[in-house]
Structure 1
Amino acid sequence: KSDKASVINNILGVEVESDEYFVKSVKRDGEVNGRKISLINTPCWWEIFGLQDSPEVVKQELVCSVFLCEPGPHVFLLVINPSLSFTEENRLSIEKHLSLFGEKIWRHTIVIITGCDSLKDKS
């Protein structure tokens, strides 16, 4: 399972298929502590593509994903696995992709770091 699918599984308490290779955003609904929530799983991009290299369909899908949760998202979850190398190029890719949502995106972004168990024996 991808890290994003694992986060969705943990938050919603459902079993979500792996999401590593798809081009359409997928809406998942659930309930947490009596509140209905929706999670929008967007196509993977930051580990693979810089903004200039992302297929146009992926960029369009990222922007259109906000319309799956009217009146719009409250929070963006940015899922990062620290066991993967994180380069300056990755950081710039994240900034450029998230800029597609506007300049205030970082006020609404929560970074979720997954896979920390795999780092126990690393310094």
Structure 2
Amino acid sequence: MAASTDIYNSAQSHPVRELRIVLIGGRYNDRLSSKSSAGNFILGQNVFNTSRRTAQSEAKQQEVFSRRVTVVDTPGWWWRGPREATPKLDQIEIQNSVHLCPPGPHVFLLVIPVNLYLSQLVKTSQKQHLELFSANVFSHTIVLFTAVAPCSDETVESKIRTSPVLQWILQQCGNRKHFLNISNREDRDQVKKLLEKIETLITNNGFRHCSVDRNQGETLRKEMRDLTERASKRFDQVQKQRKKLKLQIKGRLQLY
């Protein structure tokens, strides 16, 4: 316990001036509890679009409590779906997120809405999708619970006690967690405490960020270009076929 206290005190006496955060997790119907909303809440600005699904990883930066904070939003996966159900382009975008905050993220925030039902399928999906990152991803992850309706810490703790899947997820992440009540946008103390927890995690990790393979980044960008080009060609082919079909129908109608 004393060692843990020393680490926490060290983090507070030597605050990190730059924090690089990657938001990860599944899709959720309530966009107010989504990763994008959490990113906006952390940065204190509406910089991520919450009116649509996140299709590409995107990095935004703001000064927050005298720290330069970079947040990367990522496409979500289906909470109960296997990795094969996630489109290949989404998988590539998720992997590429770590290359948008060089030299690499300090922390992954695994965003889980408090109201989400966590079945065993969620556990399997979680394991498969986190394999998209490096092997040390769990040692750099904090579980971030989000809610938009009034919700207490006790509600979150009760959910944890009654959910074996959630207990497993937290165990993988070293039982690191934080709760954001997104409905209370004026309570910036929630964000300050989160940044302090991130700094403690950075200290625990010896001030090392999550390892990033630069060569992989180049490979991912090439894959994205190839996939986009193939999709564009398919779209053009479909458009040509539709135009041809319309002309055929028009020609037949003129015969009558």
Q: Indicate conservation of the 8 Å contact 1:49/1:93, yes or no.
A: yes
Matches within 5 A, 1:2-81: 2-3=32-33, 4-15=35-46, 16-18=48-50, 20-47=52-79, 49-81=81-113
Q: Indicate conservation of the 8 Å contact 1:83/1:118, yes or no.
A: no
Of Structure 1 and Structure 2, the greater helix share is in 2
The aligned amino acid for 1:42 is T
Matches within 5 A, 1:100-111: 100-111=132-143
Note the aligned Cα RMSD (angstroms). 2.2
Identical aligned residues as a percent:
34
**CA–CA distance in structure 2, aligned partners of residues 20 and 77 of structure 1:** 20
Deviations 1:70-96 (A, max 9, x none): 001110011001212111111211121
Structure 2 alignment gaps of length 5 or more: 1-30, 159-256
Deviations 1:32-76 (A, max 9, x none): 221111100000114263212111111111111111000011100
Q: Indicate conservation of the 8 Å contact 1:2/1:19, yes or no.
A: no
Matches within 5 A, 1:104-119: 104-115=136-147, 117=149
Q: Indicate conservation of the 8 Å contact 1:83/1:119, yes or no.
A: no
Instruction: Please give the secondary structure, in 2, of the residue aligned with 1:100.
Output: coil
**CA–CA distance in structure 1, aligned partners of residues 84 and 136 of structure 2:** 21
**CA–CA distance in structure 2, aligned partners of residues 19 and 104 of structure 1:** 33
Aligned length: 122
Change in CA separation of 1:118 and 1:46 when aligned onto 2, cut-off 3 Å? farther
**CA–CA distance in structure 2, aligned partners of residues 112 and 2 of structure 1:** 14
Q: Indicate conservation of the 8 Å contact 2:43/2:62, yes or no.
A: yes
TM-score by length of 2: 0.44
**CA–CA distance in structure 2, aligned partners of residues 46 and 78 of structure 1:** 14
Q: Indicate conservation of the 8 Å contact 1:66/1:72, yes or no.
A: yes
Q: Indicate conservation of the 8 Å contact 2:32/2:148, yes or no.
A: no
